[in-house]
Amino acid sequence: MSRSAVSRIFLLAAVFAGSIGCTPAFEGEYSDPNKAEIIDDKWNETDARKTADILVRACLEKPWLGGYTKSHKGERPVVIVDNVENATDEHIDTKALTDFIQDELINSGKVRFIDKGRRQKVLDEIKFQQSGVVNDKTKKKTGNQIGSDFMVGGRISSQVHTQEGRKTVTYQTVLTLTNIETGEIEFSDKHLIKKSFKRSGANW
């Protein structure tokens, strides 16, 4: 082997070794999903979970629920959840908050629940069963779905204040419960989350 070929081999080996040494190390670990963690100055999953818990609990403790069950012989009301509206200037996954609200309502055992997002899929399945390819004894009929009594809706807004390296964000989430038949708002409440941040030399 020529001297130039040997030199090229050593050069390639040195470059390869150098590239390995420069590769950033990667480390990962599992975290507790219920543990509050602040990794940036944005709305996060912990905010959504706490907000849903507080507002749904407040909603289910108000007089509308007892009044309904009393006038309907102990029957639980049927509730449908609308998507939470994002009125802030930042991107917020409001579906996560909507899902948390839905979970809290269902798991309370105090209401019956209709999934708004799956309605069309249910209708498509019924149409398929009515197409003639499904056995008559097992196919489902139209006209038997339960109508909802109340609709739960929400809205997130925020106020942001910055001064030098400090930033304060106040999130306000409003939850309302509307009687679908009458249009009357039976419940309305708000929950505030105030978060303060400090960053050296930050221009936010």
Burial track 163-181 (b if 16+ CB lie within 10 A, e otherwise) = eeeebebebbbbbbbbbee
Residue 9 inside a domain? The answer is no
Residue 139 inside a domain? The answer is no
Neighbours of 143 (CB within 10 A): 5
Tell me: pLDDT of 4 over 90.
no
Residue 25 inside a domain? The answer is no
pLDDT digits (tens, 9 = 90+) for 116-147: 888 889 888 999 999 989 998 899 888 888 89
pLDDT digits (tens, 9 = 90+) for 59-102: 999 999 999 999 999 999 999 999 999 999 999 989 999 999 99
Residue 173 inside a domain? The answer is yes
Percentage of the chain modeled with pLDDT above 90: 57
Q: How far apart are CA 177 and CA 126, in angstroms?
A: 30
Residue 3 inside a domain? The answer is no
Residue 133 inside a domain? The answer is no
> What domain range is 74 assigned to?
43-116+147-198
Residue 93 inside a domain? The answer is yes
pTM of the model: 0.75
Tally the domains of the chain: 1
| Cβ-proximal residues to 174 (8 Å cutoff; 6+ apart), any chain | 154, 155, 157, 188, 189, 190
CATH assignment at residue 72: 3.40.50.10610
Residue 121 inside a domain? The answer is no
